[in-house]
Amino acid sequence: MDSVKDASSRILNILNDKLKTDANISDSIVTTIYEKAEKIANEVLMIEDKKKINWDKKIDDILTSKIFGYPIMLLLLGLIFWITIQGANYPSQLLGKILFGLENKLTEFFMYINAPYWLHGILVLGMYRTLAWVISVMLPPMAIFFPFFTLLEDLGYLPRVAFNLDNFFRKSGTHGKQALTMSMGFGCNAAGVIATRIIDSPRERLIAIITNSFVPCNGRFPTLIAISTIFFSSLVSPKFSSIIATASVIGIILIGIFITLFVSKLLSKTILKGIPSTFTLELPPYRKPQIGRILVRSLIDRTLFVLSRAVLVAAPAGAITWLVANINIDGISLLNHIAHFLNPLGNLMGLDGFILLAFILGLPANEIVLPILIMSYLSTGSMIELDSLDSLKNLLINNGWTWVTGLNFMLFSLLHFPCGTTLLTIKNETNSTKWAVFTALLTTSIAILVTIIVNLLSILFK
Amino acid sequence: MGLTSKSTGLSLLKNKYDIVKEDRDMIVIALAGNPNTGKSTLFNTLTGLNQHTGNWPGKTVSNAKGTFKYKDKKFLLVDLPGTYSLLANSVEEEIARDFICFGNPDITIVITDATCLERNLNLVLQVMEITDKVIVCVNLIDEAKRKGISIDIEKLENRLGVPVIPTVARDNKGIDELLEIIYQMINGNIKTNPYRLKYSDEIESIIKEIEPILIETLGTKYNTRWLALRLIDGDKAIFNSIDNILKKYSI
């Protein structure tokens, strides 16, 4: 390596010797490149003189305007959720009828072959029922929601969202690009965490990582939609029910964004102090969306991916839940023991022990929280046919749910610890278990705090 | 803080660019270009892989390698991060630059956006400083047409001295032509004569003094003129890059 050292010192000598003039060499190099590029471009470009209206700019003026920017954003989001809620209802019921009809057939079959009680329990009441729920409740909204979301991405709307929100993030002492990574989080929080690589400053990147799960991901949307349809649409006449359900989902999202900004600010004022770095966000041109590709990508890449993950996790989780619900200690099931233990905290948060247990068991994937909860309610209470949202509503109300429970359930789902995949991604991206644990603790504390406050307020104003 | 520039994705990715042994007998093609010009789309079209594409800049944060076959040849395509230049102002630029210079790709495709050609040509000129084997794709040609912009491809080819292909990657337009040009170039049927930038007299005279020293130590395997230029530019990182390369190959 001596020859290299020798060479580099000789080169450094020459450089020191020759570069006496303080004329900026870098500038000179860059200028040479840019001038040549400009020259070539001028030679080969032919721009038609007819006055073309710059549509991109016209649209941007409206979409990112101070007055219309936010309303349009909310309207677009609202429209998508409304279509999802409206459209998912019927196919959900149909799928439910088919799948739960099949459950009866399966039960008959198990009776016919004289299968032991526990085998039927684990396989049919545990695994199959959870799977049937995951598919009938989640598939239709996903199949409607994802193509629309992908459409917005393909059009180039996401950077406009980031542009609109940039100001808020800067005020929170963080990077404007966090608006983009947050938007990615609506798709999947793990993907959102990976997307934070576009933020250069380690401090700002860490804030974006920690707060990413405060926006609901695809796995949580179906749950939020189902609960809001059940509890908030019944507050008004059926005519407006889906509008109210939409409004409450949007409300939850806005709360999520607010908490994101609030926690970002908190972090940037305390353990992650620093000055926000400036950046230029490029608004890409609008592009004609490719409908075919959008459908393929959103249905295969996203819908099937999320669904298969849910199914993979839900099957064993369903079996475990059934077992926990049916193994008795001192005449009371293990499930009841745990739920009983969690109940005081649950009640304080306006929830109950079963709900908290469902969230804990749902750590591998948020998609299965509701199915697990249904499982545990069903295994203890009366057996009812569960083939529609109405019967779900009855089940929940029989187990003491009110709209306050529904609201707190949604809030806890929004704010609690990120799913297992996201936590692993955080660990990988930050190269430390510490930040993953910190994120889980911080988010869960906030979730507990918020639900307790909401619960106390609801008692106070009863 | 646990999160340093070393622990973040981009520097971890540096290792991923090392071409592994079993890839050696494949033809290596690097895919460079400004952000949001359709690199990932072209990548997917060529390799049939489904990298996430989306209409926003900076989306390709993790980089991809994929393979494809054309006629009797096997190709390895490396999707480099989108950059506006190769002057190593950021980690992405450093990665892209190091790969084009030291990764010795057989061909480097620079994909450009027809709607803002001038800005994209900056990168093309810089890539052509490092390597001769360059193909330029003028992508989004349909969008440019809608905006009333047309490009004299022949003249551009003439000025640059390398093949230029108009494409619409998402509609598969121009892909066959691109594949054919790649194939012909590998077989030595296309000779390029890339335009080389001339700098100010002061810079050129220093290059003349430094380049011989570099050739002495490195041989002619790398583009010593370009390395000399980077040293004059005050790029200290290039010393490390040279050092690493030498260590790797001297043992």
**Judged by CB atoms within 8 Å, which residues 259-278 of A form the interface with B?**
272
Query: Nearest chain B Cα to A7, which residue?
Result: B213
In terms of average pLDDT, the best of A173-182, B85-94, B193-202 is: B193-202
Average pLDDT in the A61-83 region? 84
Q: Please, which pLDDT band fits residue A291 given cuts at 50, 70 and 90?
A: confident
| Residue A4 near residue B246, CB atoms below 8 Å | yes
Average pLDDT in the A345-364 region? 90
Tokens of A145: 């929601």
Of A7, A36, A284, the CB nearest to B213: A7
Tally of structural domains, chain A: 1
Q: CA B23, CA B30: separation in Å to the nearest integer?
A: 14
CA distances from A443 to A447, B1, B214 (A): 6, 19, 55
Following DSSP, what letter does each residue of A6-66 receive, concatenated? Answer: HHHHHHHHHHHHHTTS-S-HHHHHHHHHHHHHHHHHHHHEEE--S----HHHHHHHHHT-T
Contacts 24+ apart (CB under 8 A), A341-345: A345/A448
| Residue B160 near residue B195, CB atoms below 8 Å | yes
How many interface pairs between A and B have CB atoms less than 8 angstroms apart? 181
Query: What's the pLDDT at B120?
Result: 92
| Residue A333 near residue A326, CB atoms below 8 Å | yes
pLDDT digits 0-9 by tens, B217-233? 777 777 888 888 888 88
**Chain A environment of B56 (Cβ under 8 Å):** 153, 156, 158-159, 180, 284
Q: Do A25 and B8 touch (CB under 8 A)?
A: no
Chain A touched by B22 (CB under 8 Å): no
Mean pLDDT lowest among A91-95, B52-56, B90-94:
B52-56
CA-based nearest distance A453→chain B, Å = 33
Query: What's the pLDDT at A382?
Result: 44
The answer to whether residue A265 sits within a structural domain is: yes
The answer to whether residue A29 sits within a structural domain is: no
The answer to whether residue A138 sits within a structural domain is: yes
What ipTM score was computed for the predicted complex, to two decimals? 0.83
The answer to whether residue A10 sits within a structural domain is: no
The answer to whether residue A50 sits within a structural domain is: no
Of B54, B118, B143, the CB nearest to A285: B143
Chain B touched by A255 (CB under 8 Å): no
Q: Is residue A433 scored above 70 in pLDDT?
A: yes
Of B148, B150, B202, the CB nearest to A50: B148
pLDDT digits 0-9 by tens, A190-249? 878 877 877 777 888 899 999 999 998 877 887 888 888 888 776 666 677 778 888 888
**Chain B environment of A198 (Cβ under 8 Å):** 58, 61
Give me the domain span that covers residue A104. 69-460
**Chain B environment of A435 (Cβ under 8 Å):** 2-3
| Residue B128 near residue B187, CB atoms below 8 Å | no
Question: Tokens 């739920």 map to which residue?
Answer: A339
